[in-house]
Amino acid sequence: MRFHENVPELDRRRINQALEDIETYGDRFHFDTVKFIRDTDLVIYLDIASKVGGSGSVQLDDPAGARKAVKAGGLEVFDAARYVRLNIARETIDTGGQRGIEGTFVHEGKHARDFALMLSTFSKGIEEKIFNPTAFQREYSAHLTAALY
């Protein structure tokens, strides 16, 4: 996990506390999601909700680099995470409290894992193994993951 330079130290501590709480109180999938977030080079970014697009969102941090890596082939999920950015809204941290941060990380963490998996499977180019769910499938899965937390 890499914090973007715009994430102040206090918020980094609160985010780390939320990840610890998810490991403690979540199920195995939640634990694995936190491990994915912590152990990869996924970028954590902080901005206001209107720029993030709600309490949180996920996007490519380096689209050109991601395209180049996919084109090169053989990209593993762990390595693909370096091209993914998990955005957290300032309001989620300020008014959502620890529970709000946890819920957002469970939900958006699922999306981040999906993004990395999509990049990885596209890079390998085996058509029947490409992970490419619809937007509805991705969102439903992330909401279900958060609901079970």
Q: Give per-residue pLDDT as tens, 136-148.
A: 899 999 988 988 8
Quote the domain boundaries for residue 91: 2-147
Helix residue ranges, H only, the chain: 9-25, 28-39, 49-52, 63-72, 77-80, 90-95, 97-124, 135-147
Q: What is the pLDDT of residue 112?
A: 98
| Total-model pTM | 0.90
Instruction: Please report the sign of the dihedral spanned by the C-alpha atoms of residue 114, residue 141, residue 139, residue 37.
Output: negative
Q: Per the structure, how many domains does the chain have?
A: 1
